[in-house]
Amino acid sequence: MCDTLVALGGVTKDGSVVFAKNSDRSPNEPLITIRAPRKRHQKGSKLKCTYIEVDQAAETFEVLLLKPSWIWGAEMGCNEFGLNIGNEAVFTREKYGPEKLLGMDMLRIALERCRTSAEALETIVALLEQYGQGGNCGYDKKFTYHNSFLIADKTSAWVLETAGAYWAAEQVKDIRTISNRLSIGRTFDRAHPDLVRHAVERGWCRGEADFDFARCYSDPLFTRFSGSKERQSAGVCALEREKGRITAGTMRRILRSHEPQLEGKQFTRHSLKSVCMHGGFLFGDHTTGSYVATLNEKMCTYLITGSSTPCLALFKPYWMVKGETFSFTENAAGDAVAYWRKREMLHRLVLENRIPSLGLYLAERDRLENSFDAIITGLDPGAVNEGRLLAIMKDAAAAEEELIDRTISGAISQPGKIKGGLYYRYYWKKQTAGLEQPRPFK
């Protein structure tokens, strides 16, 4: 379960494209931040993805990936040209096939090979047609689905939604959100050539006049119980209210938002209807990582938690420059997992009510984020150098590390008790007991 949002330059405060995503997955599944360099590859070489091999490109671009530790692909990420993509699980009437490409694999391949949103759209469609999609995406339980994508560059964005081999695409006009549901209806800009004919043959519509992609191809039961309608609506409403003044801060607030009746109770109850998703239910997920990108021709700036639970986590500034130490190489996946787990320890201590003053922690987190925001706002993209950006990232990382260490050390010896219903308490006790039992790295 996830949510991805974009606002194009015509409706943002400074004319930048602003992109954001929460990754909602199993609570114990580390979402790690990996940076892979630009590479050249031998002609005829193959690329091993999560389950299958595909033909490798002659050259792959530098990418930053937020990815489950055991999967080759990524939930979200960017490349050296400012191309950003987020992936969503969607539930459809089409059969879920055998192991092929995951949506996360297609996302990573597109980031490695494309410069623009239009190129990425073409690439993902070509991968879908050549290799197909399928395979388990679950960390601690089997979980299969089809995929949708929100693809953005510095000037444009596309939504691509799939159902098995079939797909439809819509070019974004101003704001757009996607969640765990097909959302393209009667109108679209691109589509599989047999999209309507197949729906007619299956009896889902009578013909082109009454064709609606989401209505025809969605699995209504799984889509309904995913909570995606409520989450997508919350994102759309928030962006509509802020049209003309949307910033990275706007996206950060949305990624941290909960359904109204849960606000203030998010550490005692689960919810599938909150953008900031909290686990605690048999089929529920938890937000394991969050990401905001501000994209323009002068400079691309990112805010990344590197940890779960955005209503608790601290968003840190990031730029894809040489020498930064926020991200990890693929060879250092173990270190990346340790980084995520340390911050997850804080979340578990909050669940167990062992933080003496959560309000003081949140106030300090907000103070730090406000200071980062002020520094970013004061940067002159035409004059700033990489040394300055590295210093900002280093200071932000150190400030967060000190806050995390101080908060954990003050709580680790405190007695604790998870609050909430009987199953909620059982769920989180079981999750915490299994936190240190990772799946092998991919």
- Does the residue 416 lie in any domain? no
CB 319 within 8 A of CB 337: no
Q: Give the per-residue pLDDT at 442.
A: 42
Beta bridge partners of residue 59, listed in sequence order: 40
296-324 per-residue burial string, b: 16 or more CB within 10 A, e: under 16: beebbbbbbbbbbbbbbbbbbbbbbeeeb
Q: Give the per-residue pLDDT at 283.
A: 72
185: exposed, middle or buried (C-beta count within 10 Å: 0-12, 13-18, 19+)? middle
Task: Enumerate residue ranges in the chain where pLDDT < 70.
Answer: 437-442
- Does the residue 418 lie in any domain? no
- Does the residue 31 lie in any domain? yes
For 126, residues 6+ apart whose C-beta sits below 8 A from its C-beta are none
The two beta strands, 286-295 and 190-191, are unpaired
Q: Give the per-residue pLDDT at 407.
A: 96
d(CA 217, CA 274) in angstroms, rounded, equals: 25
- Does the residue 438 lie in any domain? no
Q: How big is the chain, counted in residues?
A: 442
- Does the residue 187 lie in any domain? yes
- Does the residue 440 lie in any domain? no
Rg from Cα positions in the chain: 21
d(CA 46, CA 353) in angstroms, rounded, equals: 50
CB 351 within 8 A of CB 414: no
The residue range of the domain holding 385 is: 2-411
Count the neighbouring beta carbons within 10 Å of the beta carbon of residue 11. Answer: 19
pTM above 0.75? yes
Q: Give the per-residue pLDDT at 302.
A: 98
Read off the pLDDT of residues 74-103 as tens digits, 9 standing for 90 and up: 999 999 999 999 999 999 999 998 999 999
**The amino acid at 55:** D
Residue 324, token pair as written in the block: 């930064």
Q: Give the per-residue pLDDT at 182.
A: 98
Q: Give the per-residue pLDDT at 440.
A: 52
Active site residues: 2
Q: How many domains does one find in the chain?
A: 1
- Kindly report the CATH number assigned to the domain that includes residue 369: 3.60.60.10
Q: Give the per-residue pLDDT at 396.
A: 98
CB 18 within 8 A of CB 303: no
Q: Give the per-residue pLDDT at 441.
A: 44
Read off the pLDDT of residues 238-257 as tens digits, 9 standing for 90 and up: 999 999 999 999 999 999 99
212: exposed, middle or buried (C-beta count within 10 Å: 0-12, 13-18, 19+)? middle
H-helix or E-strand spanning residue 254: helix 248-255
- Does the residue 425 lie in any domain? no
From the list 71, 58, 74, the residue with the least C-alpha distance to 99 is 71
Q: Give the per-residue pLDDT at 382.
A: 87
**3-state secondary structure (DSSP) of residue 3:** strand
Read off the pLDDT of residues 170-228 as tens digits, 9 standing for 90 and up: 999 999 999 999 999 999 999 999 999 999 999 999 999 999 999 999 999 999 999 99
- Does the residue 188 lie in any domain? yes
